[in-house]
Chain A
Amino acid sequence: MAELNLIIAGVGGQGSIRASHIVGIAAIREGLRARVGETFGSAMRGGAVASHVRIGKGVFAPLIAKDGAEIVLALELLEGLRNAVKFLAKGGLLLTNTRAWMPVDVNIGRAEYPSLEAIKGAVEKLGAEVVAIDATSLAQQAGNVRTMNVVMLGALAGTGKLPISVETLKEVVQENVPPKTIEANLRAFELGFAVIKK
C-alpha cells in the first residue's frame, strides 16, 4: 500500500472527528505514518465537518488534494456528496449513511435536499462507486443512536480497503469511546461490518 487518502464527512456532533482519530491512532499502532486534518465551520454543532485522514510514507500535508481521496465515508448523505464532488478520485468509493440532517437552508425553503438517487447518479457519473447504508437505524439497533459513527467505521473495515487490521481498529474503538458505551459500540461496529460483507 503506497498511501490511503480517506475523508470522513458529516455534520458537527455526529462523531466524524472522533472516527477519524480512531483510524489515525489505529494506523500509528500498526507502525504507519498518519495525518488527520480537520476542516469544519465555526459552530459547535450543525455545521459541515470533514476530516482528512492520510496514511502512508510520503504524507506531509494535512489536507487531501482535489480528486485525491480513495474513499469518502459520509455520516450524513449531503455531506457525502459535498466532499465526493470535491475530493473523490475516479474509481473511488463513497460509503454513506442514507440519513439526512436537514440544513436550515432547506427548512426555510432556500435550498433543496437532493434525493439519494440523484446523489448516486451524480457520483457514479464522476466514475466513482456509491454504497449507501442506513447506519442510523443500525446504531439504534446496536442500542445507542450515537454509535452511528462506529457503524460507519465497521462498514469501512468491511470494505477491506483499510491498510489496518480489523482487530486493531476494534481495539482502538474500545479505547476511545465512553466506557459505558463499549458494548453498544462493538455491536455497532459488527453491524456495520456485516452489512457491507453481505
Chain B
Amino acid sequence: MKVSKLIGFADLIVEDAPGKRVLLMGNEAIARGAIEAGVSVAASYPGTPASEILETLALAAPKLGFHAEWSVNEKVAFEVAAGAAITGVRALTSMKNAGLNWVMDMFMTLVYGGVRGGFVIAVGDDPDAHYSSNEQDTRFVAFYGEIPCLEPADSQEAKEMTRYAFELSERLELPVLVRSVTRICHASGDVKFGKIEKPERKPVFDRHWKLPWRWNVYGPPGPVEKHRWLHGQMPQMKKLVETVPWNKLVLQGKPTFGIIASGIGASYAREAVKMLGLENKVAFLKLGTPTPLPEQLVERMLKSVKSVLVVEEGEPLVELQVRGLAKNVNPDVKLLGKLTGTMPPVGEINTDIVAHALAKLVKRKLPADRPRELIKDEIKDLVAPRSSTLCAGCPHLGSYWALNQALRKVGGKVPIVNGDIGCYEQGGYAIAGKEYKPSFSTESVRYPIEAPYETLDTNYIMGGGVGLMQGQFQAGYKDGAIVGVAGDSTFFHACIPAVINAVYNKVKGVFLVMDNAWTAMTGHQPNPATGITAIGEETKLLCVEDVAKACGVEFIRTVDPFDLKATTAAIEEALKSDKFAIVVARHVCTLQAQRQKKFVGKRMIFDRDKCTGCKLCVSFGCPGIIFKEGKAGLDPILCNGCGMCAEVCPTGAIRVEG
C-alpha cells in the first residue's frame, strides 16, 4: 500500500538542510541516505515492503541529476546498478525479500571481485508475510555471499546506515546489504537530515583495476582465486564492525543477564526492558551488523553474564553465530532465543513477545488483567473477519467472472487455475470467514467458488503460474482445463521465457494476461505496458500481444474485461483451441483511471423489488455490492458505476440508467 507522496515531498527529500527534522518512512529514509551519499544510479523492481525506496529516489533523480529506473525485474535492476558500480560511481538497487531470490546468480558471482564505486543492496524483508509469499530472512544471503549486512533499528538508522553503506562498500570493494523489515520500511519516525554529498565522479573503466580481470570472473586467475580474494576481505570487515556506532554494548554494574538484540529487535527489546523496570539491570548489546558480528563486543558480553537472550527478527542468524563464539569464550553461558523455543520460530516479534520471554527469564510478572482477558474471549466472536478484496470496478473482477463462467461451460470436470503475483493474486486469498478442510481424496476434486477470491488453485511467485501449467500439461493431466493467469508487469518480469518454453514444447493451455497498464499492487508504478518511465518520461509502450507473437504464440485474443460476454467468449474459444492460447484482458486500472480523471462512471439503478436475492452479484465479488436482509444493494460511496454488475444481474434489478 502506498500513500501518494505529499505535496512538496520531492523538494523536501532533496533539501540540503543538515539538522532538519522530518517524519520519514524507513524506505524514504533509505532513499535519503543514498541521496546524501551522492548516489549516481538507482534501479529496482517494485515489491512491498520496499517499493518506496526507488519511488523516493525517482522523485529526487531529476532534481539532482542522477539516474533512477524501474527495471523490468530485480535481476536486471541488480545488474544495472552493479554495472554502474563497476565504473566507480555509487549505485543502489532495492527489492523485497523475494526479489533477492531473482538476483542470486549475479549476486554470488559479483562478490568474486566486488565493485569499485559503492554498491548498496537494500532489501525489505517481511516477517509475518504481510505482503509476501514467504518470511525468508535475507541476512543469510549476506552471510552466504561473505559481505556485510547492516540492519537498522529505526528510520534514523536506516538513513545513516545507507549513507555509511556506500563508504563501507568502497573500503571493502564489496557490495553491502542493508536489510530492513516491514516495521522499518513502512514505519515512520523522526529523521535528522545530514549533508548531501555531490561526488560528481566520472565513470571510468579499468579491466585490471587492483586485480587482473577484475570484472570477468573467468579471466585469470579464475573463480577460485577470486573467491580467495573475497574471503581475504573478511578480517578487515570484522575489524570495521567493532567500531560502527550501531553496535553498542552497555554493561553497567554486575548484571547476570544479557540481551543481544539486532535491528528492530533492539527497539522492541529496549521497550520490553522498560516495561519490566529492568533498566540498568541487564547487559544490553545492540547490534546493527548481524553479519559479520562484532565478535569482541559479543565476547565481552558472553564473559560478563550467566545467560543471554538473543532477540532478532527472522531466523536465528545472530543466535547461531553467538553459539559458536560462546563455545570458546564461556561455554557455561546459557543462550536463549529461537533455537531454544524462548522466542517464536515463525512470524514477527514485537514488544509484547520480547517482554514475555524476558519476564520468564528474570522471573518477573508482567501486569495482567485476567478478568479483562476473559471479557475479550467473550466478545471476540463479534469481530467479523474482513477478507481483502479487489477494488470496486476493478477490471480483474470482470476477468475472473469471465474465466469462471468459461470454465463452468467448457473447463471440464476439475480445471486447474495457476495464479501469479499482482492485485489479481487476490483471486486466491479466499474467504477469511470460511472454514476450509483438508481433503484426502485420491481423485481430482472440484470445489464450489462463492467469490472470485476462491479462483486460484496454485500461487507462489512471480511468473510461477505459466511454468506450473506446463508441468501439469506434460504430466498428462486430463481431468480439466489448464489455465495460467498473470498481469502485465509480471508478464514482462518473469513470463516471457516460460511462454517461449510453452510454444517450443508444444503445450496446450490458456494463459490469461490481465493487463491494467500499471504495477498496481505495489502502489501504481509504471512498467513497459504503461509507456512511461520511473521519472515520468514517455517511452515506448510494449504490447503483450506483440511479445507473445514474437515468442511464437499463434492463438492471441484481446478483450476488454468490462465486456463480460466478449471476455467469456474469448476464454471459451481459447479453452477449446488445441494450442497454447493467450487471452489479453486489457482495461486500465480503475484507480489509475480515477486519478487521471479518465474514469466515467455510469448511473446505476437498483430496483429492490426486482431483486430475488439470488446473490449472483455478490459472487461477482465487488466491494461496491452489499447484501442485507435477503436482498442485494449498491453501496453509494464505494460503487463507482463501472456497470459490470448490471451484466451479471439476471433479473434486471441492477441496471445502468438509460
Residues of A within 8 A of B (CB): 11-13, 17-18, 21, 24-25, 28, 33-49, 58, 60-63, 65-67, 78-79, 81-82, 85, 90, 101-114, 118-119, 122, 125-127, 136, 145, 175-176, 178-179
Contact = CB atoms under 8 A, between A and B. Distances in A.
A118 B382 contact: yes
20 contacts: A12-B1, A21-B3, A24-B188, A37-B183, A43-B390, A45-B389, A47-B386, A60-B154, A61-B270, A65-B275, A66-B352, A78-B383, A103-B387, A104-B623, A105-B384, A105-B387, A105-B431, A106-B384, A108-B627, A111-B384
A108 B379 contact: no
B183 A103 contact: no
B350 interface: yes
Interface string B415-458: 00000000100100101111000000000000000110100000
A108 B388 contact: no
B372 A102 contact: no
Contacts of B426: 42-43
A10 B520 CA distance: 21
Interface string B344-386: 0000001110010000000000000100100110111011111
A15 B646 CA distance: 29
A61 B520 contact: no
Nearest to A148: B637
Interface stretch (B502-510, B544-552, B613-621): B613-621
Contacts of B605: none
Nearest to A102: B626
Contacts of B587: none
Contacts of B355: 65
Which of B21, B382, B450: most chain A Cβ within 10 A?
B382
Nearest to A13: B391
Contacts of A35: 154, 187-189
A34 B190 contact: yes
B460 interface: no
B375 A126 contact: yes
A7 to B, nearest CB: 14
A5 to B, nearest CB: 11
Contact of A28 (B21, B275, B383): B21
B48 A42 contact: yes
Given A104-B621, A105-B384, A36 B187 contact: yes
Interface string B608-646: 000000010011010101110000000101100000000
Nearest to A113: B384
Nearest to A46: B389
B116 interface: no
A35 B399 CA distance: 41
B190 A33 contact: yes
B391 A175 contact: no
B431 A36 contact: no
Of residues B22, B376, B521, which shows the largest number of chain A Cβ atoms within 10 Å of its Cβ? B376
